[in-house]
A and B are shown apart, each in its own frame.
Chain A
Amino acid sequence: AQSVTQLGSHVSVSEGALVLLRCNYSSSVPPYLFWYVQYPNQGLQLLLKYTTGATLVKGINGFEAEFKKSETSFHLTKPSAHMSDAAEYFCAVTPRTGGFKTIFGAGTRLFVKA
């Protein structure tokens, strides 16, 4: 069965510092990969997704993620954190075949210090 692991339930960075949120998946065939963000008392919003082609994917709000098949990873980065980036971030996968079932990681809460 597919699974998604997000390393670190909480990450704290200073404003202006690099943001790195880690995501690893487990499946023999690379799935479709997504990063979503959830602000307090709101639903989830898609940041970016990887389907095929270029392995470096750019998303909204200055975020990007790189798909590395050899490492089964899809880490999310942003060069310079803003206070408004404080939120919970979820990595998710959907298998390429066999169903429309999205599996989410446990989430990483990002704190941004002034």
Chain B
Amino acid sequence: KAGVTQTPRYLIKTRGQQVTLSCSPISGHRSVSWYQQTPGQGLQFLFEYFSETQRNKGNFPGRFSGRQFSNSRSEMNVSTLELGDSALYLCASSLGGAPNNEQFFGPGTRLTVL
């Protein structure tokens, strides 16, 4: 079974631009969560989608948004990029039926904002 894939793996943008990251979950998984990982803040929860609906949201500004498609693939968008948005963005998928379901993580997208 293929794992969670994230594209692109690396991205360089400049301040003020916007970016879209993509995540393909494991087949059969209906939940996708997004996390931002930085050396200073660690892993921070961005949002979680299940069956195309956002079920939970972290404490990030509205510049961070996401969506999920009917095939469970998810995209995350960041508008008006700031230097502080430079981070590793991780996507995780799970079956989604219960909060104790194991999350399977992708390798991440490394975003650098110049």
A101 touches B45 (CB 8 A): yes
- Verify if B66 is at the interface (C-beta below 8 Å from A): no
User: What are 18 A-B pairs with beta-carbon distances under 8 A?
Assistant: A32-B99, A43-B90, A43-B92, A46-B103, A46-B104, A51-B100, A94-B100, A96-B100, A99-B56, A100-B31, A100-B33, A100-B50, A100-B56, A100-B96, A101-B45, A104-B35, A104-B42, A104-B44
From B12-20, B67-75, B76-84, B105-113, give the one contacting chain A. Answer: B105-113
Pick from A45, A51, A96, A102: contact of B33, CB below 8 A: A102
> Which B residues fall within an 8 A CB radius of A?
4, 31, 33, 35, 42-45, 48, 50, 55-56, 58, 90, 92, 96, 99-100, 102-108
Q: Complex formed: what's the CA distance from A70 to B88 in Å?
A: 36
Classify the interface of chain B: helix, strand, loop or mixed.
strand
Q: Complex formed: what's the CA distance from A12 to B96 in Å?
A: 36
Q: Complex formed: what's the CA distance from A43 to B31 in Å?
A: 17
Q: How many A residues have CB within 8 A of the partner chain? A: 24
A97-113 residues at the B interface, CB under 8 angstroms: 99-107
Pick from A99, A102, A105: contact of B103, CB below 8 A: A102
The CB with the most chain B CB atoms within 10 A, among A32, A34, A51, A101, is that of A101
Q: Name the A residues within 8 Å of B99 (CB-CB).
A: 32, 94-96, 99-100
Shortest distance between the CB of B19 and any CB in chain A (Å): 19
A43 touches B102 (CB 8 A): no
A49 touches B102 (CB 8 A): yes
Q: Complex formed: what's the CA distance from A96 to B100 in Å?
A: 8
Shortest distance between the CB of B40 and any CB in chain A (Å): 10
Shortest distance between the CB of B1 and any CB in chain A (Å): 15
- Verify if A44 is at the interface (C-beta below 8 Å from B): yes
Q: Complex formed: what's the CA distance from A80 to B108 in Å?
A: 30
B58 touches A101 (CB 8 A): yes
- Verify if A90 is at the interface (C-beta below 8 Å from B): yes
Shortest distance between the CB of A76 and any CB in chain B (Å): 16
